[in-house]
Copies of this chain bind each other. A is one copy, B any other.
Amino acid sequence: ALYNCTIMNLDYDNIENQLFLEEERRMSYLGFRCLEISRWVVCGWIGFLTGLIACFIDIAVEELAGFKYQVVKENIEKFTEVGGLSISLLLWAVLNAAIVMVGAIIVAYFEPIAAGSGIPQIKCYLNGIKIPRVVRLKTLVVKVCGVICSVVGGLAVGKEGPMIHSGAVVAAGVSQGRSTSLKKDFKIFEYFRRDTEKRDFVSAGAAAGVSAAFGAPVGGVLFSLEEGASFWNQMLTWRIFFASMISTFTLNFFLSIYHKNTGDLSSPGLINFGRFEGDSVAYNLYEIPLFILMGAIGGLLGALFNILNYWLTIFRIRYVHRPCLQVMEAMLVAAVTATVSFTMIYFSNDCQPLGPEHAEEYPLQLFCADGEYNSMATAFFNTPERSVRSLFHNQAGTYNPLTLGLFTLTYFFLACWTYGLAVSAGVFIPSLLIGAAWGRLFGILLAYITPNSVSKWADPGKYALIGAAAQLGGIVRMTLSLTVIMVEATGNVTYGFPIMLVLMTAKIVGDYIVEGLYDIHIKLQSVPFLHWEAPATSHWLTAREVMSSPVTCLNRIEKVGTIVDTLSNTSTKHNGFPVVVQPAKLCGLILRSQLIVLLKHKVFVELARSRLTHRKLQLKDFRDAYPRFPPIQSIHVSQDERECMMDLTEFMNPTPYTVPQETSLPRVFKLFRALGLRHLVVVDDENRVVGLVTRKDLARYHLGKHGLEELQLAQT
């Protein structure tokens, strides 16, 4: 609904026209080696820059949040004895709202696409849908500033999700060797200026982002593969892994300098779950049913979260679509978050002794006795990353059950309200935090109800980890990649098995009720997202039924006027046109973007003679125009020129993939998805064009409650 008018699809199928083949044939083996090396160099840069950005975000958040909490803490301490804590509350709420306002304004007014975590958008991109402006430099700048404001502003958000988007933007920029926004062309990597190559680099960027966010290079690779890859290629995967490794290493190295222990490479990600070591990490066989139970709870709570957020998003699409309203809503959420937190802290009487080894950065004494601190404040009066870590590692007894229960309840609703605001922010950390809270509660209750000898193993930190996994799995429904991310973030492979079980249970239970959060948001944008396989019961359908027909074909030598009219015709939705020789026999496929470049350079048969003095049109001309091809309206064609002819032979793809009309939908789907096609020509048994299958034709079939359903999709 949001980006209807301008959604494009990516083309992962090389246009193997004569120009392309000539270039490839001219290139020596050494040339290909150089290309290969430059791919590695690009991946290295992607990793390095992504790591730097993560580092910048982390340091900025640390410094600014530290400053904010210091100010508020001093204020609270001042007024605790005097009375008049409402002033502290006001200060806190106003500070938060002001900071969030900045973040919301840049997002809502300058780059709305930078809102949220960006993961749904990157999923779409890797799936082959190009949402406009999603990988632009401006988006990156807004995203980075936005996420700093949201986290410092105390919203129930994390800075990890947006890293994935940031990495993808970095990749799209570095790999093209130029920035169209800055109007700067470095004249390098020109070979990579096409969808096929760019997608591969964006995968690497997304992986580098995950890797920097969670210190999980393998998890990053798996994320990219899970979300994007249709075709697995060993060298590509290895390069993606390289980018991931460089990214986590860069972040780690610069953070070690910032933390003044240069060279200590032990904090590889933005979020660090801390070390799970020693005896407490082991689990026993009889705990496994408990873990599965927690997985089911996570699935249920996750589904609830998603349903609430779905309603909220529908509401927002209807009523909160003006930027100023969006900014106001964000400020309201920030103020409410501060108020609720304050109230919770205020009415909590969970005082804990301030141990010498305590990890709390800003212990609030409030009404506690000297040498004690308010336990609720460690959860609320802190950056969410630190709260997660405290829940994982603080000793048993640090939190009382009531604190945890209340915290879970309030944070659940706050996080649910926050996701979808016009601010840059991720849902990973809030989910982990909710899960860690109820998981710890679960562990504590378990210790209460079991005999003493058993309660030894009911380490609340362990249950907090399992709960966090369950809640996150219940909300986002990722599978293998999430397991690996969680394992890498804990730095310990022992928990692999329980985390897998928990995520599996959460996914099964959750999927039974409602889709994952990202899928819900993708669906709300009604983009033609292709899943892994065609719906199981779609063997009834054949290419004949799913294809778009009739389809506009062009002749191999076509009148310029016809081409201009075809392109200008708004009812012609397609971006590719089969090229035919009479009678309707398929001989190639040409893209809208190619035709526009041809028109712009006036490659007409009649001008061929004078073109002897002109230079011949080269692949470079297409690459220079990539990816922002001008609209047809901007190209002026005179009435005389309309009568000229254009020879498409050299430019069309002479061997497009085709299927016969009787091919079943799953078979068409498999070909389309495996090769990342954009257009698939349907031919009859005389090789005559009868239709065209596009992404949208395939994406609209969906397995619903009542069998196969057709969806309404945005125009592409």
Contacts and interface: CB of A to CB of B under 8 A. Distances in A.
Given A218-B484, A492-B491, A587-B685, A660 B671 contact: no
A21 B284 CA distance: 48
A353 interface: no
Which of A235, A238, A264, A487 lies at the interface centre, i.e. has the most chain B CB atoms within 10 A of its CB? A238
B655 A662 contact: yes
Interface stretch (A159-167, A496-504, A593-601, A627-635): A496-504
Interface string A211-235: 0000101100100011001111111
A217 B484 CA distance: 10
Contacts of A532: 233-235
A488 interface: yes
A248 B533 contact: no
B29 A703 contact: yes
A532 B233 CA distance: 6
A229 B533 CA distance: 16
Contact of A241 (B25, B238, B268, B483): B483
A277 interface: yes
A497 B265 contact: yes
A552 interface: no
A513 interface: no
A56 interface: no
Contacts of A217: 496-497, 500
A264 B249 contact: no
A536 B29 contact: yes
A479 B707 contact: no
Interface in A186-239: 215, 217-218, 221, 225-226, 229-235, 237-238
A253 interface: yes
Contact of A28 (B225, B537, B686): B537
A503 to B, nearest CB: 9
A660 B654 contact: yes
B245 A234 contact: no
Contacts of A533: 233
A500 B536 contact: no
Nearest to A706: B29
A265 B675 contact: no
A508 to B, nearest CB: 10
Contacts of A494: 265-266, 491
Interface in A694-710: 703, 707
A138 interface: no
Contacts of A253: 285
A230 B587 CA distance: 29
A480 interface: yes
Interface string A676-716: 00000001011100000000000000010001000000000
Oligomer: number of copies: 2
Contact of A686 (B237, B238, B670, B686): B686
A32 interface: yes
A352 interface: no
Contacts of A226: 234, 237
A667 interface: yes
A527 to B, nearest CB: 19
Contacts of A242: 500, 504
Nearest to A483: B241
A414 B417 CA distance: 66
A482 to B, nearest CB: 11
Contact of A232 (B231, B277, B500, B659): B231
A432 to B, nearest CB: 18
A564 B249 CA distance: 65
A367 interface: no
A319 interface: no
A221 B219 CA distance: 13
A713 to B, nearest CB: 22
Nearest to A253: B285
B480 A231 contact: no
B249 A265 contact: no
A607 interface: no
B16 A664 contact: yes
A537 B242 CA distance: 26
Contact of A282 (B16, B264, B285, B707): B264
Nearest to A504: B242
A78 interface: no
A122 to B, nearest CB: 16
A445 B27 CA distance: 47
Nearest to A657: B671
Contacts of A238: 479-480, 504
Contacts of A32: 536-537
A539 B24 contact: yes
Contacts of A625: none
Interface in A629-685: 654-655, 657-660, 662-664, 667, 670-671, 674-675, 683, 685
A263 interface: yes
A664 B667 CA distance: 23
Which of A229, A487, A687 lies at the interface centre, i.e. has the most chain B CB atoms within 10 A of its CB? A687
A493 interface: yes
A540 interface: yes
A16 B665 CA distance: 11
Contacts of A264: 282
Contact of A685 (B24, B496, B687): B687
A479 B29 CA distance: 23
A283 interface: yes
A68 interface: no
Contacts of A683: 687
Given A480-B237, A707-B29, A218 B496 contact: yes
A283 B264 CA distance: 8
A280 B476 CA distance: 38
Contact of A231 (B230, B500, B537): B230
Given A232-B225, A539-B24, A667-B16, A493 B496 contact: no
Given A25-B539, A265-B285, 15 more contacts: A16-B664, A217-B496, A218-B496, A229-B232, A230-B231, A231-B231, A231-B232, A238-B479, A241-B480, A268-B493, A488-B493, A491-B492, A671-B675, A683-B687, A686-B686
The 3 closest A-B pairs by CB, nearest first: A32-B536, A24-B539, A655-B663
12 contacts: A29-B536, A215-B493, A221-B480, A231-B231, A234-B479, A237-B479, A491-B492, A654-B660, A655-B659, A655-B662, A655-B664, A687-B687
